[in-house]
Amino acid sequence: MNANAIRIERPSTSSKLFAHTRWDAIPAAAGLFHLAYFLGLFFLYPHAPLWVMLILGFIYSLMVNANINGVGHNFIHNPFFRSKLLNRLFGVTQSIANCFSQTMYDGVHMQHHKGNSDRQDEKGDTIDWLSIYRHGHDGEPESAWSYVFLGFFRDDVGAIRKELRKRGNNDVFWGNLELAAFAITLLTMFVFNWRYVIFYFLPFWYLGHCFSYLNGYYRHYGANPDKPIAWGVSSYGKIYNWLFFYNGYHAEHHFRPKVHWTKMEKFHQSIADLQKQEGVRTIKRAHMLGFLDPELPRRGERERTQVGGIDLNRPRAVR
């Protein structure tokens, strides 16, 4: 395989605001719209009919999923702005919109790329905290049901802080600040309208994170955890990838995590033959609907693809 086939083309810009390309204004605007939507729900709740609020709440759940796996995900790998402070502040806005810590998400996601949904080792542990094999048995993935509905409760904040502390760049401080920012926001909402928080917001918030885990499950279910080029499962639907800023190209992303979302299609074309040769799995539907795939492997079936001996499959540094 010619090394030129896996060359990463990095975008560049003369913009004094954006670090990589002015196209990042789109995911940045989407993230800020999500924040406005989150705040708008609170003010609309006392005035809108229940059926309207139920629809808007479900949309919020979908937006949490799209933000985590689109805006926030791309922001982790290629921060949008030249200013470090502006990147930090944008992270705070997204933490409030999603009601989690964007910086801690960064820590979890980098651990995900260290393990790439790896199988359990001899001690029954995985490097990747999000691995679909982490809570499975007999070397197989766990059930999608438990992964989706229990994953939300499995985060170990202490372990995340420990990893962030290793970076020595104030990530622990900013992670704690983001936790405080969304906690204060929710507490304020609770003081003014506790019914909104308990009976309306929290269920849709939880559902949004479940949707995110559903996405994550089928981005790796049926992939080959022993072969870097096949670490992920890809879905190439146009609308899906526009909404999720090309995170549907998930096998490509795990193979070269720093490829910018605007360059993902071109990168896919450059390695398509190699992917076919190595048995990279693709599905036609969006990952969230991966359970509808007619060729979905049954749990308990080992991957038929053998570990390849191609030199280009060696693990690469994420950053």
Domain boundary assignment for the chain: 15-225
Q: Give the pTM.
A: 0.92
Give the pLDDT of residue 6.
73
At residue 305, does pLDDT exceed 50?
Answer: no
- Give the pLDDT mean for 174-186: 98
> Do 71 and 94 meet the contact criterion of CB atoms below 8 Å apart?
yes
- Give the pLDDT mean for 139-144: 96
pLDDT bracket for residue 5 (50, 70, 90):
low
pLDDT bracket for residue 298 (50, 70, 90):
confident
- Give the pLDDT mean for 303-311: 43
At residue 248, does pLDDT exceed 70?
Answer: yes
